[in-house]
Structure 1
Amino acid sequence: MFKLTRRHLLAGSSSLLLTMGPREGAMSSPVQTISIKVAAAPSIYQQAFASVIEAFKQQNPSVAVELIPAVREDEELVQLTLRSAIVGDIPDVLFMSPNLMRLLVDRKLAVPLETVGATAASLQSLGLIRGAEGMGQIAGRQYGTPMGVSTPVIAYNAELVRKVGASPDQFPTSWPETISLISRIHLSDPGIIGGFFEYDNTGNWTYKALVATLGGRMMSPDDKVILFDDPKGLEALRILRAFAQAGQGAADMTRDQARQAFSAGRIGVLVTSSGALPGLERQANGVFTLKAAPLPLGSEDGKVPAAGTVAMILAKDDGKRRAAWQLLQFVIGVEAQTIIGQQTGLVSVNRLALEDPNRLGSYMKARPNQGAAVTQLSRLTEWYAFPGENSIRISDAIKRHLQAVLTLKRTPEEALAFMRTEIGALLGT
């Protein structure tokens, strides 16, 4: 259950409780307060979470907020929440990764935000970038509001791009052009991997992003029909085969190993996370000029699934739901987004904060590569999670099939057929 214990206090817990009553001798009545509990993950953002709650507290004296010390991993937070739900003791608000939202939605623990007044227009009036609300949607309904974002991006070695006659300042905007570039880089020096596509991310994030940029889906909106085996799904695997043929097929690596090789100048183009860019920039400093670009769009309907953190409401009491909605609106706003942008490394989703030089404007100007993520905020979509109890097994199965394509052990057509059969069995379709 989510209760503060002596262990929490010793670990540095700060219960951000605000109660206001009359001063001694004053005749006024106490201000009525509503108390809500907030649970959060991951723990690396604990300071940012505490700063946001403290700022909210200053502006909303009628809401008492208890910030439970953040747990290390989002999966742990969800498991704690599910166990606490059995005895009816769940937090009122969660800060967590969007790819785990579905576990709470399917169990009817998450509150649809339209029931507390959320609309696309109301969120955008707070400064939320148009389209960014998609990060917190499941099956078209709003269950979370984005707090900070990481998106798949392309990091590239400007010198290797220039060496093959391409402009480092104008990275390709289509997948065919990108494939041509990585092929030329590899042909110019077979010792260089022209392109590397990280495929071992949690929840098959980059693969799902690739399918989404092509306008594809994993399953139908009602989760009844598999859709990743359509022509768009096959095209995604053919793009992966092109990465394999540009050098990745002979050098299968984890994403951590690939990032090290990229920073050492041995990979020309790396499909990675915007959250990895600061570390890559530090490691590549003095070796080559690192630049970043958004993922190419393969369709006018192309989208990008976002990682990062969302805020969700689980409160059952109407009063607590209203107070929780106050907090979620604050989290989207300029002040909270400035804190998140400065303290977490995640990209802010508030256009006003990003544009204001006294907020994040100057901060982002000094980090131009983060612009690759910012340009994708208007086309965010949910980080899809397969339904049912086999979701994790499905992710593991997909990773194996992606690896088979990226190591040239199976053709895209073969891998797609095997993947369709195995995942269909796990889904029971």
Structure 2
Amino acid sequence: MKRLLSTAAAVTLLAPAAHATEIEVAYAYSSLFDPTFAQITQAFEQAHPDIKVTFRATYENYEDATNTILREAVAGTVPDVSFQALNRQQILVERGIAQPLDPFIAGEEGFETEGYHKAMLDLSRFDGAIYGLPFSVSTPIGFYNMDMLRGAGIDTVPATWDAVIAACKAMTANGQEALYWHWDISGNWMLQAEMWSQGVPMIKDGKLNMDNDAGLKALETAHAIFRDCEMKNTGGGDASKAFAAGELGMFFSSTAYVSFVDRSKLGDWEFVTAPYPGLDGTPQALPAGGNAAMMTSASDDPELRAAAWDFIKFATSGEGAAAVALTTGYVPPNQKANALLMDDFYAQNPNKMTAVDQLPLLSEWFAYPGDNGLAVTQVIHDSLEAILVGDATDMEELRDEMVDEVNALLPR
């Protein structure tokens, strides 16, 4: 392996400088990112003994991250650096909470050669300015317990939702818990995946673009998954633990969970990942998930802001991105990460290669425009939950009600 971030056993941190600059950082999903930030912070503080990093309480999810920082902005208690979902950046830009990074980038000699390629930077570009640096990028994928599938007479990974549902029925008949589709993941991401799979954007001309056949098909697919797979009403976190324990046959969620499953896996069963199922074949597109590092400091102290920039730059550098790849299943958004990984990293970690193979399908993870964006997310969440618990059975009626309610919340 080429030189990479030092492990906890190998690194002895330098003692903090007597007058170290202290920055506060906040991020979401502790179960996914705690190992990542532990590794990054050790290396960062060794390289920057004059900067002390203090972490805020972890955000539960991306909606919590946005809600929390909006409240903190009113109270004047925002962290200096906040890792926010790619689809939630715009509201922080519009509210003046996120600070443009262009002045810092301009002061970095050779920044354009540091692995930050334009396509990734564009994920955080608004009105021509860059407000974040990409930290992690993901796509939805399939997680499979091949022993359970084979036990139900299924030898190959299902490639379409019809095949997934057929596998569910065989596994259920075999007395197994078949599937969890992570419907409640942040930002209605999985429903957006069903729309993009058909090549149809979730938002068009500022409105919810589901009053069409594609929207109906997406909801009908969710209905079939919930009903025909007898899916339990548990959270995605619990489902990931059940999968890692060998108690669940299939799990459809973010590639971010790959390392979690590797670390938590109980028993000697075959774990494989595969591309996200399509409706009639390979998906036409998929939403780009993940988050970006944003400077949200309210301080005018140039020393503190410079320290916050140093942490953002380090966390998203090739070294930081390599740590993301090693400790999660995210795709490194910095091209230099590959030079720091083992030459045969993906050959040795094929379950992490699935998301890399899906990169050509990456499309926008839509944020709902206007001040009611989080409320729109909740309306769609509640509609999916109504399907799951059996309160909604007529998908056309549900679609029409959801479209009307959402569009009433969006800017006119």
**Structure 1 residues 197-233: Cα deviation after superposition (integer angstroms, max 9, x where no partner):** 1212233232233323333333236xx3222333332
Q: Which consecutive residues of structure 2, in runs of 5 or more, have no partner in the other structure?
A: 1-13
TM-score (norm 2): 0.72
Identity %: 26
Q: CA deviation at 1:180?
A: 2.0
2:185 aligned with 1:201, yes or no?
Answer: yes
3-state DSSP of counterpart to 1:72: coil
Q: CA deviation at 1:344?
A: 6.1
3-state DSSP of counterpart to 1:50: helix
3-state DSSP of counterpart to 1:404: helix
Q: CA deviation at 1:338?
A: 2.9
3-state DSSP of counterpart to 2:211: coil
Relative distance call for 1:67 and 1:16 in structure 2 (3 A) is: farther
Relative distance call for 1:188 and 1:48 in structure 2 (3 A) is: closer
TM-score (norm 1): 0.70
2:54 aligned with 1:71, yes or no?
Answer: no
- Which whole-Å CA distance do the structure 2 matches of 1:146 and 1:273 have between them? 17
Q: CA deviation at 1:271?
A: 0.8
- Which whole-Å CA distance do the structure 2 matches of 1:149 and 1:335 have between them? 16
- Which whole-Å CA distance do the structure 1 matches of 2:125 and 2:385 have between them? 29
Contact 1:153 1:294 in 2 (8 A): yes
Contact 2:284 2:361 in 1 (8 A): no
Partner AA of 2:398 in structure 1: A
2:44 aligned with 1:53, yes or no?
Answer: yes
2:209 aligned with 1:227, yes or no?
Answer: yes
- Which whole-Å CA distance do the structure 2 matches of 1:231 and 1:113 have between them? 42
Partner AA of 1:235 in structure 2: K
Partner of 2:156: 167
Partner of 1:10: none
- Which whole-Å CA distance do the structure 2 matches of 1:218 and 1:234 have between them? 12
Relative distance call for 1:280 and 1:328 in structure 2 (3 A) is: closer
Q: CA deviation at 1:291?
A: 0.8
- Return the match for 1:421 from 401, 404, 412: 404
Relative distance call for 1:125 and 1:240 in structure 2 (3 A) is: farther
- Return the match for 2:252 from 254, 261, 271: 271
Relative distance call for 1:326 and 1:258 in structure 2 (3 A) is: closer
- Which whole-Å CA distance do the structure 1 matches of 2:83 and 2:171 have between them? 47
2:84 aligned with 1:103, yes or no?
Answer: no
Q: CA deviation at 1:377?
A: 4.3
Relative distance call for 1:51 and 1:240 in structure 2 (3 A) is: same
Alignment of 1:171-186 (within 5 A): 172=159, 177-186=160-169
* CA RMSD, 1 decimal: 4.3
Q: CA deviation at 1:362?
A: 5.3
2:356 aligned with 1:349, yes or no?
Answer: no
Q: CA deviation at 1:418?
A: 1.7
Contact 2:84 2:293 in 1 (8 A): yes
Q: Which consecutive residues of structure 1, in runs of 5 or more, have no partner in the other structure?
A: 1-13, 21-34, 59-63
Q: CA deviation at 1:136?
A: 3.5
**Structure 1 residues 219-248: Cα deviation after superposition (integer angstroms, max 9, x where no partner):** 236xx3222333332222222133134323
- Which whole-Å CA distance do the structure 1 matches of 2:255 and 2:268 have between them? 20
3-state DSSP of counterpart to 1:336: helix
Partner AA of 1:167 in structure 2: T
2:271 aligned with 1:290, yes or no?
Answer: yes
Alignment of 1:17-416 (within 5 A): 37=23, 39-42=25-28, 44=34, 46-51=37-42, 53-54=44-45, 57=48, 65=51, 67-73=53-59, 81-82=69-70, 85=73, 93-112=81-100, 125-128=113-116, 131-133=119-121, 135-136=123-124, 142-162=130-150, 164-168=153-157, 172=159, 177-187=160-170, 189-190=172-173, 191-192=175-176, 194-220=178-204, 224-248=206-230, 251-259=232-240, 261-263=242-244, 267-281=248-262, 284-286=265-267, 288-296=269-277, 302-307=285-290, 309-314=291-296, 328-342=312-326, 346-354=330-338, 356=340, 359-361=341-343, 364-377=346-359, 379-407=361-389, 409-416=392-399
Q: CA deviation at 1:417?
A: 1.1
Q: CA deviation at 1:128?
A: 4.6
Contact 1:56 1:327 in 2 (8 A): no
